Chains A and B, each alone.
Chain A
């Protein structure tokens, strides 16, 4: 591999400061999975077509397979691993996905939950149509989506009950 001056990436991942020299061609998904060993973020296509790799950057859902790691410089990144509560409790979205039957093979699930997380940050009480729209970039081949919609609605209710946290 060619040696190029490696740029520095400084960002906050799941509340932890990260500072590393990285390859400028590295995608955020490869950085998270390969360098930080945060394998909860999945890749199903590496082409921005499936949504399995969605993470939240500064409050917005992005496909981390298309997003260059250097673009995250100075930003806050949240991955599925970052949704755990202080004492390890599952986030209401995670719990609701499990309880409502929204998980089958599970490969789409972390990305789906991160898209839903970004939606609820922006809109704590989404309608079903808004949920469908927000998840339209996340393909699930197993569930038929119905139980995923219910899980998001349930989690939204729980989160509103505890003031969005």
Chain B
């Protein structure tokens, strides 16, 4: 059903048709799969990059100016690329790694390349939030740099890191809309194919509901975990 020949209300009613939702089961599974894998990759690499950035900062625990400047520059370059451009750039990279430039894996590469730099910056700003006095205390006790990172900085900033990760997962979800371009399927693919190309706005609406719910759940879970942690620590 299309908005071109039906009223908004009719399209909304039609968007709850069980037939439409049956057709969305597989795309939902695809979106969840791509989101989960991409998020884990973003989490791991973003955390490592963000930590490196914080440590090698000239005022950091392990200052290496060259590394700090070049990685900062590299991240900024990646961040300045629009998502579509990133996808086009990642096509040859995916072919290099997986031997083909389409499919779920290629899609995950593009999403990771786009979201890792963002999450790395979020991690950096979370880690920099730590009260310098705590680091001073840890040093005065004789902690090594590694101990300060893993036993002090990361645990102390964990609630903020979790909030940042929530933001990153939501960015990943919004990027899965582009998965269709790689033939990787997903909700976004359905939305574009039926909603845009065939004017089936009832299907488009159904996809929108799902994306909205996914984002709400992500944000809700992120807030819940981080608030629980703050409450346990008696900080709120």
Co-assembled chains A and B: no
Q: Interface residues, chain A, CB within 8 Å of chain B?
A: none
Q: Interface residues, chain B, CB within 8 Å of chain A?
A: none
